[in-house]
Structure 1
Amino acid sequence: MGLVGLSKLREAAGPGRAFGCFAVQDLGCMEAILAAAQDLELPTALCIGQSSWTSLAPLVSACRTAASKAQVPVAVHFNHGKSLGSVLAAIDAGCTSVMYDGSGLDLEQNIRNTRECVLVAHARAVEIEGEIGPLGTFTLDEARGFAERTVVDWLAVSVFRDWSFDEHFIKELAAIGPGLVLHGASKLEPEERARAIRAGVVKINAHSEIERAMASGLEYAANHARAFDSDSLRHACDCVRQTVSDLMRSYALL
């Protein structure tokens, strides 16, 4: 299917299952993520953010080119934009979807800023995700008001380590309307994450897991090689590929 938007990934994942949005740090990381997706024949999103090691426009261009050649549906998503300018830059670079993150602001300011970004994204026919904040810090009515007033396509929430898992609350959030996105899912137990997916989580972002896989791979290679070289990078990418494969299986409840 190649390059698509997030809604197409949701369709491809199927009901009761989620798809992953995986942090792309560089081209090797991108290739590892796509290789895992094609091995498993599962949809995926390549996630580009402020922490990527390569600058925005070249990385988006490379991701778009690679995604267009993939045999599975692939989106190119911009993560955690903190301003309208960053969202615009991601749209101009060619991201198929963008995220504005105003979760650090008070709710009213978050709604105003997110709505402004939504208007710009929708005018360019780009899907947009907005984040209300960590689970346990907002009410269901506040989440419903956020979604209705911003008209986001995707509603993001995040997990605090001390959040007491509440499957019913997740079901209520999923029923609001926009696709429900989970950030910080690595803080959940695997069984809780599966329950969250069954309750309606559609998209799961994976960032820390990718960073840990890269770091672990590089450390192993450094300890078993005479010098840091291309073999070290290949080993790190192999670690990313395995991590992404394991996560994809869990998101698809395989």
Structure 2
Amino acid sequence: MKNLVSLFEMTNNKGAIGAFNVHCIEMLPSMMEAANELNIPIIIQTSLGTAEYVGFDLMVSIIKTLSERYNIDVCLHLDHCQDIHAIQKAIDSGYTSVMYDGSSLPLNENIENTKKVVEYAHKRNVSVEGEVGTIGGTEDGLVVDEKDVMYTNPEDAYMFVKETNVDALAVAIGTTHGLYKSKAKINFDLLKEISSNIGHVGLVLHGGTGVSDEDIKRCVSEGVKKVNIGSELNKAYIEEINKTFPKAADRPLTSLRKLFIPANQRIKEIVKQKLILLQK
């Protein structure tokens, strides 16, 4: 298992790395199979809710087993966490990367809290992602109202990176978590300005589900190194299960595997499409 820094070094000038949110452990083999078939590194992400549902240690064990089975480079990342104690638990359990999300706090407080996480994580060879600006939408129960969305201020981003020594930075440039009602409007000028002055830190695009393939390609060309995909996977998974067994009489009486197998295959297809898209 790798941290973000290792994956960024491995994929330097080759494109961005796909970061896929897993909602249940049944999804995991299909995600890893996709990366194996393409021979491309992958980031598997869990929300705090998923980590607590599955179990931090169990998630780590499963990822280790699958990475050895498929012989692929994988990073296990805790996404959008505001609880420093939970982040420390993830690190102690074996997660190789974490995100402290202090974007809703005043900048100085965000910096101070992120520094604490970085100090704890880096001593254990774990990478840290931070966030400056506020990305809107809903993800795993976390809701940011549209009126509270705040684009990343470049000067704040530079200060944040300098003071915290984070390895990756999520920026608010027009995307939103969850499912889009219309096409995302990316502020590419802002992205370019931040990217040109951020140094070695990997920029992260959250809310990748609603961004067009063309815009994702452009984001990668402007310096984005990690692209998060979550809502699209969850939506496809549920739709595939509903499509496979649309009527009560068709529901399996022997094993839930009959529900999951077609849905897992759909997840594999989506992950492969995204991993290919993110290559330069």
Q: TM-score, normalised by structure 1?
A: 0.91
| Matching of residue 45 in structure 1 with residue 43 in structure 2 | yes
Give, in angstroms, the shift of residue 164 of structure 1. Answer: 4.0
Partner of 2:71: 71
* Amino acid corresponding to residue 62 of structure 2 in structure 1: A
Partner of 1:122: 122
Query: How does 1:181-192 map onto structure 2 within 5 Å?
Result: 181-192=204-215
Contact 2:104–2:134, Cα closer than 8 Å, also in 1: no
Match of 1:222 among 245, 251, 262: 245
SS at 1:25 equivalent: coil
Query: How does 1:138-217 map onto structure 2 within 5 Å?
Result: 138-158=152-172, 159-160=175-176, 164-175=185-196, 176-177=198-199, 178-217=201-240
* Amino acid corresponding to residue 248 of structure 1 in structure 2: L
List runs of 5+ in structure 2 lacking aligned partners: 136-149
Contact 2:33–2:70, Cα closer than 8 Å, also in 1: no
Partner Cα separation in structure 1 for residue 45 and residue 22 of structure 2: 6
List runs of 5+ in structure 1 lacking aligned partners: none
Q: Closer, same or farther in 2 for the Cα pair 1:132/1:218, shift >3 Å?
A: same
Contact 1:16–1:200, Cα closer than 8 Å, also in 2: no
SS at 1:69 equivalent: helix
Query: How does 1:78-93 map onto structure 2 within 5 Å?
Result: 78-93=78-93
Partner Cα separation in structure 1 for residue 236 and residue 131 of structure 2: 26
Partner Cα separation in structure 2 for residue 16 and residue 195 of structure 1: 14
Partner of 1:59: 59
Partner Cα separation in structure 2 for residue 87 and residue 223 of structure 1: 40
Partner Cα separation in structure 1 for residue 108 and residue 5 of structure 2: 27
Contact 1:23–1:46, Cα closer than 8 Å, also in 2: yes
Contact 1:46–1:77, Cα closer than 8 Å, also in 2: yes
Contact 2:184–2:211, Cα closer than 8 Å, also in 1: no
Partner Cα separation in structure 2 for residue 197 and residue 148 of structure 1: 23
Contact 1:48–1:60, Cα closer than 8 Å, also in 2: no
Tell me whether 195-204 or 136-145 shows the greater mean CA deviation.
136-145
SS at 1:124 equivalent: coil
SS at 2:246 equivalent: helix
Partner of 1:243: 270
Partner Cα separation in structure 1 for residue 233 and residue 86 of structure 2: 23
What percentage of aligned pairs have identical amino acids?
29
